[in-house]
Amino acid sequence: MENSDDNSDEENEWTTGFTDVTLEPHPAAVHGKHNPQPTPTHRVILHLDLDCFYAQVEMLRNPALRSVPLGIQQKYMIVTCNYVAREQGVTKLMSVVEAQQRCPQLVLLRGEDLTQYRDMSYRVTELLTSYCPLVERLGFDENYVDVTEMVERRLTQTNCFSFQGHIYNRSVAGTNAGDHQRLALGSHIAAELRAAMDSTLGLTGCAGVATSKLLAKLVSGTFKPNQQTILLPEDVDDIMRQLGGLRRVPGVGHQTSKRLQALGLVSVQDLQLCPLADLVKEFGAPTAQRLKNLSLGIDTSPVTPTGAPQSLSDEDSFKKISTAKEVLEKTQDLLNSLVERLVFLNKDGRQPQTFRLTIRRYSADNKWFSRESRQCPVPHHIGQKIISGSSDAPAHLVTMAMKLFHKMVEGSAAFHLTLLNVCFTNLPPRVPTATGKGAITSFFTHGTSPRNSVIMSQTQEQLSGGPGHVCGSEDVERSAQSVMTQHHFLMTTPAESTSGSETDQHALAATKSVVSSVTRGRQGVTCSTQAQAEHDSTSGGGPLFEFRLPPNVDPEVFRELPEDIQRELLSPAFPRAPPASCASVSGDVPARRPLCFGSDKYPAPHPPASQLPSGSPSDSHQLPGRGDSPADVRSCGGRQAPSSGHGVPGDVDPTVFSELPPDVQRELMAAWRQQKPVSKVPSSVKPERKPFGKDKKAAAKGGQQNNLYKYFKPG
DNA sequence: CTGGGGTTGT
DNA sequence: ACAACCC
């Protein structure tokens, strides 16, 4: 909402001190007992970092991999590996050869195709966003969350404080949580978010709790894996100096550290003590101040909600490409998958206005450096074709790409490329329409729409309540109602939409039925796909995605469908056969495991995190919606089985459940826990409900129900 | 034998 | 268009 920066009308004590920093680090954190006012004086920032993310995704898909050393390979590199492999000396960014020397039984999976990782990554961000709107992504496996407002809210609801997880450099027992109320509350929120990630997505990770992004990130990795750590203000200087090399400061990259080294600065302490004037000469005032602040552990940068991506690119590297024909074919492949991705992403109708082609030329000397690119505008009608799934759009794009290519490489000259990249940028900011359709499509967005986010987070706050506050069932009901209402919008035409819980339940039942039929359908379809060819995935000049849509599918309608369902429709076989190396490990590995949790999907031989070197002893699984007694009961150290039996009623297909948006999942679970409204949704809502209406266009403009039924009709 | 993505700033 | 940063 527009008043999201609301806390600035009060005087804030903490902003001024940072600009003229010549003093030592501590911002003197006195959030005091003398000041019981709710005015937020200190931020509480979380950094969440998933454990060996790609490996975790693969182990979710095939739990047999949990017990073997697993590496994810891109070209000649191990980009990440599970902890079994790490115990045997495999590390991130190690060459495949060395990894295999250290660990001959290492199981390798190809990780060049990021599709599933990206999908899961956005599910995580989406889940976090459903609790709190201020979520910033950093890569695929890290998120910052600004939980200041949630903390302030809980501050008003409790006067009993405790820490969850570790405290940097200190013992929990010897530290008074009452002296660090906000960070203490933040640590509970961190634990809840991690528990939510585990129980709804089956993913584990670390968290850091601190007063800035910088500090939260630095502290989050103190105890790995799957643990969390708080940094108290009095330990800021320690953690900074403990870093040692300047290169380890986030924001100081290779170039900057080299320039600093040229100034004689190598350790964090060197930079802390360096006169600002010296830095200004080398870097200019703004960067100089920023660098010095970083060295002091000072970082005022806000958590900026990432929202929908601002660019989409697809690239491949190779040893050599030296003919125009090869360039054309590679470009075609890249464009096919890029366009496909854009359509997936394009639930909200964004249209790229710029296209860019990037190359890397081989050069023995400066192998790494040279990337060159050329870009051009995307004509409006082409953009239209792209996002509407028109079959000839890629042809136009290939033409554009080759023109751009020849702006960099002369037609007659010899060349040697080692990389090609195609990229859509300049995606226009989304304009939420005032119409009903706008509201509907906003439901389908990645949860990154501010409007959507705010709604969800408020809902969630009501659900979770604060420590010490037992959430009233009224709150739960109202919250559930709000989400049901959105489903109702989704599933009914405006004419039918009367308010009332009964209608809402029918709408929800319809959702379940529809999703159920499609997910079940695909399980029959998918089986025994090929062993992935050694070489590249998708063909040379393979069919455009349009051809893979069912014949009578309106692309516009298609765009409105949930992502998972879109993907299923586009590639029913979902070609993801376990590579040969995997087959040797477990002959039983199925052709394709649906990418979601649930007892029938993930056999869950052990609950996801339970076999990991145990998390912090105080980790509890406080599920949202369960108003727990005040925070001092944290001896509930045992983990409840997270992913398998988390309270989904027996008459609900876990597959169906898992395909619902994460926030809706939580709403439903909350409602089930309270034995509330939706529990009486009939279990036998099999596709008996009649599809009606066959007018595609009319359906697309109006309610979604007809369209959905058209796709998923039982026949 | 260093990947396949992303963002911001100039 | 590129360089820097992040993972």
Express each pLDDT in A151-197 by its tens digit.
Answer: 999 999 999 999 999 999 999 999 999 999 999 999 999 999 999 99
Q: For chain A, what percent of residues have pLDDT higher than 90?
A: 52
A287 touches strand C (CB under 7 A): no
Indicate the SS3 state at residue A109: strand
For the segment A491-509, the average pLDDT, to the nearest whole number, is: 28
C7 C1' closest Cα residue: A139
Distance, CA of A456 to C1' of C2, in Å: 40
Bridge partners, A417 (sequence order): A321, A361
- What is A558-607 written as a DSSP string? HHHS-HHHHHHHH-TT---PPPHHHHHH-TT--S---SS-STTTS--SS-
Start-to-end CA distance of chain A, whole Å, equals 44
Separation between Cα atoms, residue A353 and residue A709, nearest integer Å: 34
Q: For chain A, what percent of residues have pLDDT higher than 70?
A: 54
| Structure confidence at residue A356 as a pLDDT band (50, 70, 90) | very high
Q: Does residue A415 contact residue A370 with C-beta atoms inside 8 Å?
A: no
Tokens of A464: 């979770």
pLDDT of residue A677: 30
- Model confidence at A649: pLDDT above 90: no
Tokens of A696: 């595609």
Distance, CA of A37 to C1' of B9, in Å: 39
Which of the residue ranges A127-131, A255-259, A282-286, A467-471 would you say has the lowest mean pLDDT? A467-471
pLDDT of residue A365: 74
- Model confidence at A524: pLDDT above 80: no
- Model confidence at A663: pLDDT above 70: no
Please return the burial class of A591, using the count of CB atoms within 10 Å of its CB with bins 0-12, 13-18 and 19+.
middle
For the segment A409-424, the average pLDDT, to the nearest whole number, is: 96
- Any idea which nucleotide's C1' is nearest the CA of A371? C2
pLDDT of residue A348: 74
For the segment A266-270, the average pLDDT, to the nearest whole number, is: 97
A142 is catalytic: yes
Separation between Cα atoms, residue A480 and residue A462, nearest integer Å: 10
A254 touches strand C (CB under 7 A): yes
Bridge partners, A355 (sequence order): A376, A424
Distance, CA of A290 to C1' of B8, in Å: 15
The structure's pTM equals 0.66
Which of the residue ranges A199-213, A345-359, A635-649 would you say has the lowest mean pLDDT? A635-649
Residue with tokens 């009332």: A500
Q: Does residue A452 contact residue A133 with C-beta atoms inside 8 Å?
A: no
- Model confidence at A298: pLDDT above 80: yes
A93 touches strand C (CB under 7 A): no
A141 touches strand C (CB under 7 A): yes
- Model confidence at A558: pLDDT above 80: no
A342 touches strand C (CB under 7 A): no
Which of the residue ranges A189-193, A215-219, A557-561, A654-658 would you say has the lowest mean pLDDT? A654-658
Distance, CA of A681 to C1' of C6, in Å: 46
- Any idea which nucleotide's C1' is nearest the CA of A73? B3
- Model confidence at A261: pLDDT above 80: yes
Nearest to A92 by CA among A163, A33, A141, A43: A141
Distance, CA of A424 to C1' of C2, in Å: 17
Distance, CA of A255 to C1' of C3, in Å: 10
Separation between Cα atoms, residue A239 and residue A249, nearest integer Å: 11
Strand B nucleotides where any atom sits below 7 Å of a protein CB: 1-8, 10
For the segment A679-699, the average pLDDT, to the nearest whole number, is: 27
Q: Which one of A58, A136, A142, A461 is the catalytic residue? A: A142
Distance, CA of A118 to C1' of B5, in Å: 10
Separation between Cα atoms, residue A493 and residue A510, nearest integer Å: 13
Q: Does residue A228 contact residue A208 with C-beta atoms inside 8 Å?
A: yes
Amino acid sitting at position A384:
Q
- Any idea which nucleotide's C1' is nearest the CA of A97? B1
A138 touches strand C (CB under 7 A): yes
B6 C1' closest Cα residue: A139
- Any idea which nucleotide's C1' is nearest the CA of A334? B4
Separation between Cα atoms, residue A238 and residue A230, nearest integer Å: 14
| Structure confidence at residue A99 as a pLDDT band (50, 70, 90) | very high
Separation between Cα atoms, residue A702 and residue A696, nearest integer Å: 10
Q: Does residue A410 contact residue A333 with C-beta atoms inside 8 Å?
A: no
Strand C nucleotides where any atom sits below 7 Å of a protein CB: 1-7
Q: Does residue A475 contact residue A463 with C-beta atoms inside 8 Å?
A: yes
What single-letter DSSP state applies at residue A14? S
Distance, CA of A218 to C1' of C7, in Å: 14
A377 touches strand C (CB under 7 A): no
A253 touches strand C (CB under 7 A): yes
- Any idea which nucleotide's C1' is nearest the CA of A247? C5
B9 C1' closest Cα residue: A287
Amino acid sitting at position A350:
R
- Any idea which nucleotide's C1' is nearest the CA of A136? B7
- Model confidence at A655: pLDDT above 90: no
A92 touches strand C (CB under 7 A): no
pLDDT of residue A127: 98
For the segment A466-487, the average pLDDT, to the nearest whole number, is: 29
Distance, CA of A306 to C1' of C6, in Å: 14
Which residues put CB within 7 Å of chain B, the nucleic strand? A 74-77, 79, 93, 95, 97, 112, 114, 118, 139-140, 286-287, 304, 306, 309-317, 368, 419, 423
Q: Does residue A627 contact residue A482 with C-beta atoms inside 8 Å?
A: no
Q: What are residue A332's phi and psi, to 5 degrees?
A: -60, -50
- Any idea which nucleotide's C1' is nearest the CA of A49? C7
- Any idea which nucleotide's C1' is nearest the CA of A248? C6
What value does the mean pLDDT of chain A take? 67
Distance, CA of A368 to C1' of B10, in Å: 22
B1 C1' closest Cα residue: A76
- Model confidence at A302: pLDDT above 80: yes
Highest mean pLDDT among A414-418, A488-492, A703-707 belongs to A414-418
Distance, CA of A410 to C1' of B4, in Å: 27
Query: Among the residues of A409-533, which ranges form H helices?
Result: 436-444, 450-464, 473-491, 501-525
Separation between Cα atoms, residue A352 and residue A383, nearest integer Å: 6
